[in-house]
Amino acid sequence: MRSLLTHLFIMFFSIALVVGCKAVSNEVSEAQPENTAKARLSELPDALTSSELFDTTILKPTQLFDNFYFVGYVSVGSFVIQTSDGIVLIDSMWTPNDAKTVIVPGMIELGLDPSDIKFVLITHGHSDHYGGAHYFEQEYGAKILMREQEWRFINNPEAPVLTDPFGNYSTEIPTPTTYTSLADKDVLNFGDTQVTILATPGHTPGATSLIISAEDDGEKHTVALWGGTGLPDTLEANKRYLQSLNYFQKVVNEKRADVTISNHPFSYNLIEKMTLLKQQKTSMPNPLVVGNEAINDYIDNELRNNVKEKISSLD
Ligand SMILES: [Zn+2]
């Protein structure tokens, strides 16, 4: 059965396609005037604007593991990884304003220093993931890490235009000015923390999944992050998505990943797990550690079923 989430993602990106083409800008945009934002949002279906994908309720910043934190909205957030070589952000939310008013204060609340941000690693080129990157580049001199395909995608005038929950078009969101290119199977060592890069095209041409080392009370865990959940529109892209998913699963099993998380925290119960983490005694097992078998179940029974269903509907 196709989940509501899949429907919403499909809707989100199908709608995005009809908005137009992209005129890329490096300028920091101001928020849209209220009437412009309202008019743009009114063109989107209620099913999208009232969904979790557009829910900008700020979640309480949360420590997930010894070295690993979440800050953000219900719709999307950033993971903050504290390493012995400085802080690495995984994704940067929708806009420069999100960076300034959600990520930075969230980090300060967690006792982290935003001026320690050395890298922003972008999983894919939709504005809910890269929108704040330029801010960190400009304010803190952070280096932007992403795959070349995705750099081209965010700078491509023909790329689909998304409307964000504030009524901005993705064309109005500043892109980073420069980046360091990542390739499949790159292993990045940020001091004591290792991040493995996996090229998993499908959701977007350069979508990137990650395997990240984490520690919980000194115990080692391996986090698998699937870099783009929503299904694309074309048969070809869905076939690529399926191929990438098979590759991701192979690596998840080779690396014995026992945690899976998404930058969309409503996905795979991250919000509930974070609530539990904050309420329970620190001696209790971390609810994020689900084990390798559960990750395989999620890949087999949710992600793969959804994309196979979409492929047969397009065939
Ligand atoms: Zn996306």
Percent of the chain with pLDDT over 90: 86
Q: How far is the CA of 86 from the centre of ligand 1 (A)?
A: 27
Q: Is the pLDDT reported for residue 210 higher than 70?
A: yes
Cα 212 to chain centroid, rounded: 14
Rg for the chain, CA atoms, rounded: 18
Q: How far is the CA of 160 from the centre of ligand 1 (A)?
A: 11
Task: List CB contacts of 6: < 8 A, sequence separation 6 or more.
Answer: 230, 231, 306, 310
- The per-residue pLDDT for 30 is 55
Q: Tell the burial category of 111 from Cβ atoms under 10 Å away from its Cβ (0-12, 13-18, 19+).
A: exposed
Q: Which has the minimum average pLDDT: 53-67, 77-91, 101-115, 276-290?
A: 276-290
**Distance, CA of 142 to CA of 290 (rounded, Å):** 32
Give the closest residue to 68 by CA, choosing from 195, 197, 226.
195
Q: How far is the CA of 308 from the centre of ligand 1 (A)?
A: 19
Taking the C-alpha atoms of 213, 214, 219 and 220 in order, what is their torsion angle to the nearest 10 degrees? -10
Give the closest residue to 53 by CA, choosing from 263, 258, 276.
263
Give the residue extent of every domain in the chain: 13-23+53-279+286-314
What does the pLDDT look like over 14-48, one tens digit per residue? 334 334 444 444 444 557 888 999 999 999 999 99
Read off the pLDDT of each residue in 80-100 and give the average, rounded to a whole number: 97
- The per-residue pLDDT for 65 is 97
Read off the pLDDT of each residue in 291-309 and give the average, rounded to a whole number: 97
Q: How far is the CA of 125 from the centre of ligand 1 (A)?
A: 7
| Mean confidence (pLDDT) of the chain | 91
Q: How far is the CA of 292 from the centre of ligand 1 (A)?
A: 25
Is 13-23+53-279+286-314 a CATH 3.60.15.10 domain? yes
**Distance, CA of 44 to CA of 53 (rounded, Å):** 13
Q: Is the pLDDT reported for residue 259 higher than 50?
A: yes
Q: Which two tokens stand for residue 135?
A: 């801010």
Q: Is the pLDDT reported for residue 8 higher than 70?
A: no
Contact 249, 29 (CB under 8 A): no
- The per-residue pLDDT for 223 is 98
Q: How far is the CA of 283 from the centre of ligand 1 (A)?
A: 36
Q: How far is the CA of 280 from the centre of ligand 1 (A)?
A: 32
Cα 168 to chain centroid, rounded: 19
- The per-residue pLDDT for 16 is 44
Q: How far is the CA of 53 from the centre of ligand 1 (A)?
A: 11
